[in-house]
Amino acid sequence: MRPIFALATPVALSSQLDTLVGIADIYLVGDLGADAIAAVGISQILTMVIGVVMISVSTGAFALVAQGTGANDARTVSATTKQALVLVAAISALLSLVGIACSRMALEILSMPPGVVELGTGYLHVFFAGLPFMALNFTLNNCLYGAGDARTPLYLNLIMSVLKIAFSYFLIFGVGPLPVLGVTGAALATVLSRAVGFALAIAMVKSNRLNVRFLPETSYIPERERAERMLRIGIPSAVQGLFRNGSGVVFVKLVALTLQPTVAVAAYSIGNQVERIVRRTSLSFGTAATTLVGQRLGAGDSTGAERSGWTSILIGSVSMALFGAPLAFFAGDIMGLFTQDPDIIRVGRVYIWAILLAEPLQCVAITAGGGLRGAGDTKPALYYTIIAQWIVRLPVGYALAFGLGYDVDGLWVSLVAFSALQGWLTLRKFAQGEWKERSL
Q: Are 183 and 331 in contact (CB under 8 A)?
A: no
pLDDT > 70 in the chain, percent: 97
Instruction: Check residue 311 and give its pLDDT.
Output: 92
Q: Are 154 and 13 in contact (CB under 8 A)?
A: yes
Instruction: Check residue 45 and give its pLDDT.
Output: 67
Of the pLDDT bands very low, low, confident and very high (cuts 50, 70, 90), residue 50 is low
348 vs 380: CA distance, rounded Å? 33
Coil vs helix vs strand at 215: coil
Q: Are 139 and 86 in contact (CB under 8 A)?
A: no
Residue 438 has pLDDT above 90, yes or no: no
Domain housing 407: 2-437
Residue 416: half-sphere exposure toward Cβ, Cα within 13 Å? 13
Of the pLDDT bands very low, low, confident and very high (cuts 50, 70, 90), residue 131 is confident
Query: Based on C-alpha coordinates, what's the Rg of the chain?
Result: 21
Residues 6+ apart with CB under 8 A from 313: 285, 289, 364, 367, 368, 371, 427, 430
Torsion sign over Cα 189, 195, 196, 200: positive
Please count the structural domains in the chain: 1
Coil vs helix vs strand at 271: helix
Query: Could you say which DSSP state residue 32 is in?
Result: G
Of the pLDDT bands very low, low, confident and very high (cuts 50, 70, 90), residue 439 is low
Q: Are 120 and 107 in contact (CB under 8 A)?
A: yes
Of the pLDDT bands very low, low, confident and very high (cuts 50, 70, 90), residue 47 is confident
Q: Are 38 and 262 in contact (CB under 8 A)?
A: yes
Total count of residues recorded for the chain: 440
Of the pLDDT bands very low, low, confident and very high (cuts 50, 70, 90), residue 51 is low
DSSP symbols for 73-99 = -HHHHHHHHHHHHHHHHHHHHHHHHHH
Of the pLDDT bands very low, low, confident and very high (cuts 50, 70, 90), residue 430 is very high
pTM above 0.85, yes or no: no
Cα 30-35-37 angle, rounded to 5 deg: 35
Residues 6+ apart with CB under 8 A from 73: 298
